A = this chain, B = another copy of it.
């Protein structure tokens, strides 16, 4: 064991603490300063140990907050009838939502094309973060034709569920017509929302949901945390 470096030893010790349940999933590790005292080494050495575990996806650090134990990835099923809540419940996680922005505005060219509207038509803009067990899973941004669903904005304010809000506006069912998937790097703001670092990989999806007559009702864009989500087509 003479070849083992100081930082590797510390890294292994922390790993054992996690494996033994001393530090559980999502919990906060002692601060770097505390670890410095505990192991009697320089802060750089502690940081190297933590960085090694963070690279493996075992730890996650947040500037100004602390270092945390990461969760294992969640499997997200991409069937033709995608329902966020149901999806996460199947994965054994408790779903929740945080609305960042909810307003009615004019559609961009891209949005108008996706919803088959005239450019500049009014749309409801619904934007927020999806959580599983209080951990951010994805950023979502959906637009709906305001003309077809005049009361949707208010319904979304109350309902906290797109499916239920649309049902309140008279839409019984909707299915996923098309989806584009890409991988992008997280912007600082995206990274912050998802508790990641800028540049971390995201799964970017663009999808159109249609009603029973194949008329588009929703154009949704999502950014999943690449480290915490695996998309599953089946």
Contacts and interface: CB of A to CB of B under 8 A. Distances in A.
A105 B22 CA distance: 9
Interface in A95-149: 100-101, 105, 129
Given A40-B193, A42-B64, A64-B42, A188 B6 contact: yes
A101 to B, nearest CB: 6
Given A9-B187, A187-B9, A192 B39 contact: yes
A187 B64 CA distance: 32
Contact of A10 (B37, B100, B189): B189
Interface residues of A, dominant DSSP: mixed
Report the copy number of this chain in the oligomer: 2
B6 A189 contact: yes
B40 A9 contact: no
Contacts of A38: 100-101
Interface in A1-19: 2-6, 8-10, 13
A198 interface: yes
Contacts of A6: 188-189, 192
Most chain B CB within 10 A, of A10, A39, A40, A100, is at A40
A12 to B, nearest CB: 10
8 contacts: A3-B188, A4-B188, A5-B188, A6-B192, A9-B187, A38-B101, A40-B189, A40-B192
Interface of A: 2-6, 8-10, 13, 22, 37-42, 64, 100-101, 105, 129, 187-189, 192-193, 198
